[in-house]
Amino acid sequence: MGVQGCGKGTQAIMLARDYELTHISVGDIFRWNIQNHTKLAAQVRRIINEGNLVPDDVVEDVIRQRLSEHDWNYGFILDGFPRSHRQAQFFLESYDIDAVIHIDVSDEVVMERVLSRRLCSECGLDYNIIQHRPRVADQCDVCKGKLITREDDNEAAIRKRIADYHEKTAPLLDLFRHKELVIKTDGSLSPEEIQEDIRKQLRLSKAISKPEE
């Protein structure tokens, strides 16, 4: 858990890769729907373009359906869920959770990171004009596609998401803390440092592997 832009997705991918976990990302599921022009996508697109969070019942349905596929051998890591008290209750009642990872990062850092995100309009590769610059400005290193900003990465939409996070999602950490599930890590560190800290706190032993090219 953590505000959007804290690096949840990156950390989830690193854990999933080395521990053979199924990575379930709410954002990815919604993005897939948008790319494939589904009915759900039309609804979701309108909501996020206004900078709002997708309503609880929609997110819950999507996650419930995704989890019903049971396509994991060693477990799953969820990214982007739960975001509300109701979703958290549903999740606690339905699944046996090993841990909740809280990536703590300041609003200012998140704002700076999200505003520097770019995406290749052709192949979908992520860039960051501060940390991961393309070799040629506004052009994808891999396919030469044009780099674009995601529609929902504008300042007003980000401020709204941060405010929503503090109001609705942050209090859930208390719910999970009561069950002694939460570990907290410093999201201002590098992705590798954060991952190492997570593994240390969860007493996981594997070294971080390099992503396959």
Give me the active site residues, please. Answer: 8, 83, 117, 150, 161
CA distances from 104 to 72, 75, 100, 187 (A): 28, 24, 12, 5
The residue among 34 and 109 lying less far from Zn ion, judged by its C-beta, is 34
Contacting Zn ion within 82-141 (CB under 5 A): 120, 122-123, 125, 140
DSSP state for residue 131 in the 8-state scheme: T
DSSP state for residue 182 in the 8-state scheme: E
The residue among 142 and 148 lying less far from Zn ion, judged by its C-beta, is 142
Contacting Zn ion within 142-181 (CB under 5 A): 142-143, 145
- What is the C-alpha to C-alpha distance for residues 59 and 37, in angstroms, rounded to an integer? 17
The residue among 117 and 161 lying less far from Zn ion, judged by its C-beta, is 117
Tokens standing for 190? 């590098």
**Alpha helices, DSSP H only, in 52-211?**
56-67, 85-94, 107-115, 155-164, 172-178, 191-201
Number of residues that bind Zn ion (CB under 5 A): 8
Residues of the shown chain interacting with Zn ion in the complex, contacts defined by CB under 5 A: 120, 122-123, 125, 140, 142-143, 145
